[in-house]
Amino acid sequence: MLPRGRPRALGAAALLLLLLIGFFLLGGDPECERLEPDGRTGDLGCPRCPLTPRVPSDGRLRGASALDGDPLAGHWDHNRSACDPWPQLPPKCELLHVAIVCAGHNSSREVITLVKSLLFYRKNPLHLHLVTDAVARNILEGFKGFYHADQLKPQISWIPNKHYSGLYGLMKLVLPGILPPGLARVIVLDTDVTFASDIAELWALFAHFSDKQVIGLVENQSDWYLGNLWKNHRPWPALGRGFNTGVILLWLDRLRQVGWEQMWTLTAQRELLTLAATSLADQDIFNAVIKEHPELVQPLPCVWNVQLSDHTRAEHCYSEAADLKVIHWNSPKKVRVKNKHAGSFRNFYLTFLGYDGNLLRRELFGCPSQTLPEAEQLHRALAQLDEEDACFEFRQQQLTVHRVHITFLPHKPPPPRPHDITLVAQLSMDRLQMLEALCRHWPGPMSLALYLTDAEAQQFLHFVEASPVLSARQDVAYHVVYREGPLYPVNQLRNVALAQALTPYVFLSDIDFLPAYSLYDYLRASIEQLELGSRRKAALVVPAFETLRYRFTFPSSKAELLALLDSGSLYTFRYHEWPQGHAPTDYARWREAQAPYRVQWAADYEPYVVVPRDCPRYDPRFVGFGWNKVAHIVELDAQEFELLVLPEAFTIHLPHAPSLDISRFRSSSTYRDCLQALKEEFHQDLSRRYGAAALNCPPTVSAI
């Protein structure tokens, strides 16, 4: 569904945007774009209710009186007791176009909630045109290659602007110039709107534009443009209350015909002779243009942009209406706005904030399918699985393509440093309480994959905001992998976190471990000293210990650690349950060691290591409990990584209740049998890739 010929404007304007689809959107016929109904052709002999808005015949809207007196002045009548404005909906399967400007980490989260509400109610295929900055593009591309975009700041950066949206709000002005020339109409949305109805009903309102009308807008629901909010408040010019640009119907080809770009540029330049800057970004300019050319605007029913700003008069709209269509959180306080009815509106928003996006993978029945090749391949692979296979659940989980939201929270990439190390780990909700301690123990960059539901992702956000320790850190990148399927996809999570590590080295840890306070500095010094990278292909082993106490004084040195070990307060990791996992580290030698020493790989070895960022990925076939780290070390060994144990390094496992996965492993023989089968398949694959000789030993049946 990429535009067939890249419009020339694209290269020139160094911009663009667009599109996606893939997972959410199935169906949709790009041919439909060629259909350009004139707004009346949908009528197949059915008489319709009169839909013309009650605008005075001079084309001007009434000003202040509109909301004070007649609540519906300037709007259509929404009371069902009168004639219902059921516009002719666009035909089944017609593609609808939506443009959204989205920049930065926070908007990239916000836009997801908007898109979820859109997709929930829509019945037509949608084409999203996203104008993004580099941060949002990076995030949203990770969101399954959905989006593709660029920048167009030069076109609007000359406009001084005081609005909190910064430059990005202004970008709506240039959409007619940057969207594909073949695109006739588009709906433009702010990221802070929430749909409560099918966008096709909004699209249908294009049919009621007169020949001269090019922009559909809802009137402002605050007194801002009336200029009476406070003393010396001098707003930009507007017709009466003016219009709100959170929801815009743009008739693009007509805008191009009337010379939109020149029109708004001239107006803005002229107004800026007397006004210092725009206060409400693009909205000031749209209104100034409309004041001059009122014939351009088609006023829309107020329910399509119910504005919950601080001093909104929106109640006049929604208490009369049969039905809410779009809620606009246009206060800088967003959903925290104080408003008599904010609770009810907030519940709409929260519905989609926490909505499991996986559930939007629904077909548009009866529309031509536009499944992506990867999706089709996946579908075939899933269909080939044998439901009777004992490992069915494992194989299904392995094939699951999770939604991923990288850098869910604001993050500053670390400055490039030749020996820098990122701690890599993964966790789910039940380990959140480890994060603060981990931040105290590891002052360097971290890349963490979190396995969460959409609702849990919001709880996580609040958790970080409430924690001074966590919110002070800009170098911890949190990547949300959305939950799907019954087994914990441990290695897929590790691979997500690993792929997002931006330093030359990574410390591959687990969330239940706290590293020695000095470990970050010590590891960097060791990498430099040992001349890793240039001279040696090595994995640095960080010896692992465990405490069984959940209140515990962390040793500040190797000497203190050894004392705790001797007093029985600490053990070497899994000493009682699974000694072979760490035995090759040779703890007796470590106790005395003054310099790094080399150890040999042995079956079931699973140390915590520091390796270059481009190390082998984890094998995603291991899901749930068992053999997930072991397999990775086997592969490091097959690639002939030296294993060097560092004499001053250590990390300590804190106790926790057994995970549900480990409980299943212990109680289910199928689970154990299946793990054995997966191990054997892994070894076969490995011998194919590295040759049997590279593998030091055959797979063994191990008991835990």
Residues within the interface to its own copies (CB under 8 A): 44-47, 49, 79-84, 86, 88-92, 120, 123, 315, 318-324, 341, 343-344, 347-348, 350-351, 354-356, 358-363, 365-366, 430-434, 453, 455, 463, 548-551, 576-577, 654-660, 663
Identity of the residue, 324 or 615, whose beta carbon is nearer to its own copies in the bound complex = 324
- Residue 1: C-alpha distances to residues 20, 274, 383 (Å): 8, 46, 26
Identity of the residue, 230 or 365, whose beta carbon is nearer to its own copies in the bound complex = 365
Q: How far is Cα 121 from Cα 62, in angstroms, rounded to an integer?
A: 33
- Smallest distance, Å, CB 463 to its own copies? 8
- 606 neighbors 539 (Cβ within 8 angstroms): no
Q: How far is Cα 605 from Cα 579, in angstroms, rounded to an integer?
A: 9
CA-nearest of 259, 248, 253, 240 to 286 is: 248
Identity of the residue, 267 or 339, whose beta carbon is nearer to its own copies in the bound complex = 339
122-160 as b/e: b if 16+ CB within 10 A: bebbbbbbbbbbebbbbbbbbbbebbbbbbbeebbeebe
Q: How far is Cα 507 from Cα 422, in angstroms, rounded to an integer?
A: 6
For residue 403, count other CB atoms closer than 10 A to its CB: 22
Identity of the residue, 134 or 563, whose beta carbon is nearer to its own copies in the bound complex = 563
388 DSSP 8-state letter: T
Identity of the residue, 33 or 635, whose beta carbon is nearer to its own copies in the bound complex = 33
* DSSP H or E stretch at residue 96: strand 96-102
- Smallest distance, Å, CB 449 to its own copies? 19
- Smallest distance, Å, CB 682 to its own copies? 27
Tell me, what amino acid is at 379?
A: H
- Smallest distance, Å, CB 620 to its own copies? 23
End-to-end, the C-alpha distance of the chain in Å comes to 51
Tokens standing for residue 82: 């009168």
State residue 668 phi and psi, 5-degree precision. Answer: -115, 120
195 by DSSP, 3-state: which? strand
Identity of the residue, 60 or 362, whose beta carbon is nearer to its own copies in the bound complex = 362
- Smallest distance, Å, CB 44 to its own copies? 6
Q: Find where tokens 């069902």 sit.
A: 80
State residue 438 phi and psi, 5-degree precision. Answer: -60, -40
List CB contacts of 486: < 8 A, sequence separation 6 or more: 393, 397
Identity of the residue, 210 or 433, whose beta carbon is nearer to its own copies in the bound complex = 433
Tokens standing for residue 385: 């699985």
Identity of the residue, 165 or 453, whose beta carbon is nearer to its own copies in the bound complex = 453
Identity of the residue, 377 or 663, whose beta carbon is nearer to its own copies in the bound complex = 663
Tokens standing for residue 507: 């410390």
For 296-411, strand residue ranges (E) read 297-299, 306-307, 326-328, 404-405
List CB contacts of 53: < 8 A, sequence separation 6 or more: 74, 75, 76, 298, 299, 301
- 255 neighbors 176 (Cβ within 8 angstroms): yes
State residue 435 phi and psi, 5-degree precision. Answer: -65, -40
* DSSP H or E stretch at residue 539: strand 538-542
- 326 neighbors 194 (Cβ within 8 angstroms): yes
**Dmax of the chain from CA atoms?**
94
- Smallest distance, Å, CB 74 to its own copies? 19
Tokens standing for residue 314: 């929106």
Q: How far is Cα 618 from Cα 495, in angstroms, rounded to an integer?
A: 6
Beta bridge partner(s), residue 449 = 426, 479
- Smallest distance, Å, CB 180 to its own copies? 26
For 596-680, strand residue ranges (E) read 597-599, 608-612, 642-645, 651-653
